[in-house]
Amino acid sequence: MKTKIVYSFLHDLFSGMDYRQRITEEAARLFRQYGIKAVTMDMLANNLGISKRTIYEVFKDKNELLAGVVSHMVIRQKELINRIFNESENVIEAIFRLLETMSEHIRRISPAFRLDMMKFSNDAIMDLKKTGHFPYPYSTPYLIENGIKEGVFRDDIDVEITNKCLFELIRMSDRGDDPEQDANHRMHVIRDVYINYLRGISTPKGLELINYYETHMIDQKPRHE
């Protein structure tokens, strides 16, 4: 009887809140820290102080939960990108701030999570990867177009092709064969390849800004979590 009362109380409590978001955010934290396979529904329920039944009322299984976590990450990422763009003085500053944010993200993710994501075959995850909406696509047509308007990127480049190239550079540079590879080394490769590509599409003004931010922003902590 007491168990039913407690469950009813917790159910009503979570019903009055966005408990889908709470479950998703806690699952994301645990996945990043321990990897996907190591996190069980019992562990998640215990951390949230709820029953597994409550979780299964929202997500039918772990596959659906993972899809929800990745979708949540995509939304948060887009919000972060827009915020950084709006708060930066120019596109080059925005790019460097995004790279620093990405660097912090890579440092926080456990090798187990990276390995699990590389092997995971969830259909929803695969769809996100195929459409380019899988975290973290740090290049967008908006970035290139604004860079041209600001005079930091050449106006004779093809925006669509350039955007695809930048996105693939990130993916290829971050697709190391060894998921346990040192995060600092991995980020150094990504930054080096990405920035050198940007130099090739930049105007003299853009090159000057790249040199400035390389000197003043490399290895500094990002302003956003």
User: What's the Rg (C-alpha) of the chain?
Assistant: 20
**How do the domains of the chain map onto residue ranges?**
2-59, 90-217
* Predicted confidence (pLDDT) at residue 221 exceeds the cutoff of 60: no
CB atoms within 10 A of CB 123: 9
Residue 222 pLDDT exceeds 50: no
Q: Is the pLDDT of residue 141 over 50?
A: yes
What's the pLDDT tens digit per position in 32-68? 899 998 999 999 999 999 999 999 999 999 888 988 8
- Sequence-separated (6 or more) residues with CB below 8 Å from residue 125: 66, 67, 70, 117, 134
CA distance 185 to 106: 11
Mean pLDDT: which of 77-81, 83-87, 120-124, 170-174 is highest?
83-87
90-217 topology per CATH? Tetracycline Repressor; domain 2 (1.10.357)
Q: Is the pLDDT of residue 155 over 90?
A: yes
**CATH homologous superfamily of 2-59:** Homeodomain-like (1.10.10.60)
Q: Tokens 């995509």, residue?
A: 74
